[in-house]
Amino acid sequence: MAASRVPTRWISVADDEALAAAACERILRAAGKAIEARGQFLLVLTGGNTPKQVYVRMAKAQADWSRWHFYFGDERCLPVADAERNSRMVCEVWLDRVPVPREQIHPVPAEAGALAAASRYAERLRELGDFDLVLMGLGEDGHTASLFPGHDWGESATAPDVLAVFDSPKPPPERVSLSAARLGRTREMLFLVAGEGKQRAVAEWRRGALLPAAAVSPPAGVDVLVTPPLPNVSRRAS
């Protein structure tokens, strides 16, 4: 385990609404660049409440959805229709509301159990190159995706792309997560961090602590949109 090895750019925003607006702007910008360069946009989504506000906004955006491909950084092992599933939340607020081809939405088959789902999702990712943009959340304990303190984060170059996670401290206990190594294979990575409850984890991350969030290391570094605003970090919206 090592503290962040890549540049971490902190971007303070005034409140949740500003965070959602700035995140949408960045997602759309990344999509534009990827589609222009390669004809498609490979986006990895995260679960949690913070991104939900972003997804609600994205549903109203103008985009060529036929070029977008959606993957998931982690999933909770629950039935497909369970309201706590990340894929269900994303579909409800965003993907069911825009004309994206269904075959371009790639949920983790977590209903099959963590081990089976991890192996099937790894197979799905096998031929895929780098992602264009990976969205990440941050837990109060510094976790990201379903990589929790004290667990295996799959950082090494030989780590599997997808991990079966048991005994998660955040319910449900059984989950599936892309490894830190596979999450790091992306052109851009954007963390969405909101709420007073995250301040301690943010302070530890900034001090160089060994948190899961600091273990993902895409070559271009990571951007962190954060509210409430951090002291000594100038505010900007994008």
Q: What is the rounded (10 degree) CA torsion for 224, 158, 41, 21?
A: -10
Among 144, 179, 186, 227, binds ligand 6PG (CB under 6 A): 144
Kind and range of the H or E element at 133? Answer: strand 131-136
Residue 154 touches ligand 6PG, criterion: CB under 6 A: no
d(CA 217, CA 66): 30
Residue 212 touches ligand 6PG, criterion: CB under 6 A: no
Among 14, 38, 49, 130, binds ligand 6PG (CB under 6 A): 49
Residue 107 touches ligand 6PG, criterion: CB under 6 A: no
Closer residue to ligand 6PG, CB minimum distance, 47 or 218:
47
> Are 201 and 187 a contacting pair, CB within 8 Å?
no
Residue 200 touches ligand 6PG, criterion: CB under 6 A: no
Total site size for ligand 6PG, rule CB under 6 A: 15
Q: Please provide residue 111's backbone torsions phi and psi, each rounded to the nearest 5 degrees.
A: -65, -20
Q: Which residue has the tokens 């925003």?
A: 13
Closer residue to ligand 6PG, CB minimum distance, 48 or 154:
48
Among 107, 137, 142, 218, binds ligand 6PG (CB under 6 A): 137
d(CA 114, CA 194): 28
Q: Please provide residue 136's backbone torsions phi and psi, each rounded to the nearest 5 degrees.
A: -135, 150
DSSP, res 235: B
Residue 57 touches ligand 6PG, criterion: CB under 6 A: no
Q: Which residue has the tokens 């997602």?
A: 27
Among 4, 46, 179, 217, binds ligand 6PG (CB under 6 A): 46
Residue 50 touches ligand 6PG, criterion: CB under 6 A: yes
Query: Which of positions 16-45 make contact with ligand 6PG (CB under 6 A)?
Result: none
- Pattern 65-84, ligand 6PG, x by CB under 6 A: ---------x-x--------
DSSP, res 229: P
Closer residue to ligand 6PG, CB minimum distance, 50 or 179:
50
| Piece in contact with ligand 6PG (CB under 6 A), picked from 46-54, 113-121, 202-210, 230-238 | 46-54
Residue 224 CB, shortest distance to ligand 6PG, in Å, is: 13
Residue 33's alpha-carbon distances to 28, 132, 160, 179, 231, in angstroms, are: 9, 9, 29, 26, 32
Among residues 235, 183, 209, the alpha carbon closest in space to that of 46 is found at 183
Q: How many residues does the chain have?
A: 238
Closer residue to ligand 6PG, CB minimum distance, 177 or 217:
177
Among residues 72, 94, 96, the alpha carbon closest in space to that of 85 is found at 72
Q: Which residues bind ligand 6PG (CB under 6 A)?
A: 46-50, 74, 76, 86, 137-139, 143-145, 170
